[in-house]
Amino acid sequence: MRLRNVPGAREAIAESTFCYETPEDMKGLWSRRFNNQNPIHIEIGMGKGRFITELAMKYPEINFIGIEKYSSVLIRGLEKQEELQLPNLCFIRMDAEDICKIFAPGEISKIYLNFSDPWPKDRHAKRRLTSAQFLERYLKIIRPDGSLEFKTDNTDLFQFSLETAETVKEWELTAFTHDLHHDTAMNEGNIMTEYEERFSSMGTPIHKMILKPAIF
């Protein structure tokens, strides 16, 4: 994603009641933030936030937290939320590497990864959001009956993710497709992200996989 500095983005994020500057303070307490015991779903690398905002509008009985590394991108989702004021949506500006500092064991019911950065060089493989290192981090925060959904246009990243999921035995691959938009069952209720719309309009097939914590 090409990043353009957005003047005032950091300040707006710092001032917003929909963003958390010190999310570590909320570890284990996110239900209090939403004032209910509803499940919490997170999107890591939410970009401009269209996907998670649509989900939050469609499913008011679920709480959503969007996570994004860059202020200049997150600000777009935040501006929309300042208009909408959805009670079940908030954001965190952070690098997902620190995810275990933010959420307590079992605090999260679903993790969405959409069109994650591919980090094509081998030496950067650990930075991929579907690397074994990240899958192990997610295990520390996901409920035993939770799930992880990953969509991408990138065939190499998807293949890497399938192979990685095989090696991390605590995750079980429950479904996958190499052409989401032509897979009736997996595409049911699909909400397109900004990147998904862009790639599918160029005719690029979209891959999707669903993982669940394995039961031993």
Binding-site ranges for ligand SAM (CB under 6 A)? 1, 44-47, 67-70, 73, 95-97, 114-117, 193-196
The answer to whether 117 is a known catalytic residue is yes
CB of residue 192 vs ligand SAM: minimum separation in angstroms?
9
CB of residue 46 vs ligand SAM: minimum separation in angstroms?
6
**Cβ proximity to ligand SAM, 47 vs 146, nearer residue:** 47
Of the residues 25, 95, 117, 122, only one is catalytic, namely 117
CA diameter of the chain: 50
Of 161, 162, 139, 141, whose CA–CA distance to 212 is shortest?
A: 139
- List b or e across 16-50, with b for residues whose CB sees 16 or more CB atoms inside 10 angstroms: bebbbeebeebeeebeeebeeebbbbbbbbbbbbb
CB of residue 77 vs ligand SAM: minimum separation in angstroms?
10
First to last CA, the chain: 39
Instruction: Collapse the DSSP code of 173 into the 3-class scheme (helix H, G, I; strand E, B; otherwise coil) and give the result.
Output: strand
CB of residue 116 vs ligand SAM: minimum separation in angstroms?
6
**Cβ proximity to ligand SAM, 102 vs 144, nearer residue:** 102
Question: What is the Cα Rg of the chain in Å?
Answer: 17
Q: Are strands 40-44 and 108-114 parallel, antiparallel or unpaired?
A: parallel
**Cβ proximity to ligand SAM, 69 vs 212, nearer residue:** 69
Active-site residue list: 117
